[in-house]
Amino acid sequence: MSLTSPVRARIEAAVRRRWYGEPGWLRILTPLSVVTRWVARRRMSHRRLDPDIPTVVVGNLVVGGAGKTPLVLALVRRLLDAGARPGIISRGYGAASGHQARLVEGTEDASLVGDEPLLLARESGVPVAIARDRVAALSLLARRCDVIVSDDGLQHYALPRSVEIVAVKAPHFFGNGRLLPVGPLREPLDRLQAADLIVCVGSDVSATGAEAMKALPPEARATAVAMAANASGWQVWKAGMAPRRVPLAEGAADLAGRSPLALAGIAHPEDFFADLDALGISHEAYDLGDHGSALPELRTGRVVVTTAKDQARLDPALGALECWVLERELRADAAAERALESLVRRLVAQRRA
């Protein structure tokens, strides 16, 4: 039996409240968390660090989003600037392609390739391949690229990797610190010790850095930096027209009196709705559930505000509606910039070797 989006969203919201607060009734599932720990330890023992092509995995420890996609794009841009020929691989969550590896052109329907790969193909300008087996996706790009960036896949241990970057989203961090299903953790926190870099993504880089140091295990703090993901502008989509960009303040002023419908199908939709509140945009909030696509009834002429990832997934369903996408820019402070530059030099050196 499939759940409708509103029901699914309510269930997900109820679980999120426990994952990112007191576990409450979820404590009865503690024996299953013990199994999660055992499986994670066993799988970690099969981690490979000897790829034939330099490969960096950008992943996270918790279920749901942690700022991986903008981090992948930031890394790819730096690799391009360094003269590399990077490519991106992804599982393609929700894609109808199944196990077969395929290239993403950036013009497909998200139902075929997944919303994140579609967004990455549009924004990066580099080859993007998807497959449930990321090794198959990597093989598809091996002759086209000399460095591979994996969007997610930290726990996909069949995929060899040169570098591991763990993304952590502030202020949510690791929730209640419990393993699935009592908490949001896929692996124990000591997994952070094996990462080359931990990037804490938040709206205020200075505050995020300070809070991140408290949230991380002491032994993992030496490899942690903070980056700010700030709202930077708008992209306006409408059927039959090329998307246009609008400055942040100008767009907020335009939307302020139009009471748009705000759609969010991301791991923490409350963050998106809070961004709109901060911009002074009165809106009707609608939580689709993570990667959800079942829309409420949309009347003609309604203005929709959403995230870039959601727009990629929902575009066919929005029809002729005017859709405003809140764009975000990932900004590194000096410490984060140095850390990323060091990783890029390391990958480029491996490529030449």
Q: Pull the structure tokens for residue 143.
A: 């002759």
Q: What pLDDT sits at residue 291?
A: 83
Sign of CA dihedral 202, 179, 12, 307: positive
Q: What pLDDT sits at residue 301?
A: 87
Which residue type sits at 201?
V
On average, the pLDDT of the chain sits at 91
Q: What is the mean pLDDT of residues 287-300?
A: 85
What is the total residue count of the chain? 353
pLDDT above 60 (res 3) = no
Strands 197-202 and 224-238: parallel
Q: What is the mean pLDDT of residues 321-350?
A: 94
**Cα 222 to Cα 6: distance, rounded to the nearest angstrom:** 42
Sorting pLDDT into bands at 50, 70 and 90, what band is 1? very low
Sorting pLDDT into bands at 50, 70 and 90, what band is 26? very high
Do the beta carbons of residue 48 and residue 157 sit within 8 Å?
A: yes
Q: What pLDDT sits at residue 299?
A: 83
Q: What is the mean pLDDT of residues 136-145?
A: 95
pLDDT above 70 (res 99) = no
Task: Check residues 179 and 266 and name the one with the higher pLDDT.
Answer: 179
**Cα 165 to Cα 56: distance, rounded to the nearest angstrom:** 7
Q: To the nearest whole percent, how much of the chain has pLDDT over 90? A: 72
Cis peptide leading into residue 171 (ω within 30°)? yes
Task: Check residues 48 and 187 and name the one with the higher pLDDT.
Answer: 187
pLDDT above 70 (res 98) = no
Q: 3-state SS of the chain? A: CCCCHHHHHHHHHHHHHHHCCCCHHHHHHHHHHHHHHHHHHHHHCCCCCCCCCCEEEEECCECCCCCHHHHHHHHHHHHHHCCCCEEEEECCCCCCCCCCCEEECCCCCHHHHCHHHHHHHHHHCCCEEECCCHHHHHHHHCCCCCEEEEECCCCCCCCCCCEEEEEEECCCCCCCCCECCCCCECCCHHHHHHCCEEEEEECCHHHHHHHHHHHCCHHHHHHEEEEEEEEEEEEEEECCEEEEEEEHHHHHHHHHCCCCEEEECCCCHHHHHHHHHHCCCCCEEEECCCCCCCCCCCCCCCEEEEEHHHHHHHHHHHCCCEEEEEEEEEEECHHHHHHHHHHHHHHHHHHHC
CA-wise closest residue to 227 among 247, 198, 249, 191: 198
- Per-residue pLDDT reduced to its tens digit, 202-252: 887 676 677 777 889 899 999 999 999 889 999 999 888 889 999 999 999
CA-wise closest residue to 212 among 64, 56, 67: 67
- pTM, whole model, 2 decimals? 0.93
Q: What pLDDT sits at residue 273?
A: 96
Do the beta carbons of residue 150 and residue 58 sit within 8 Å?
A: yes
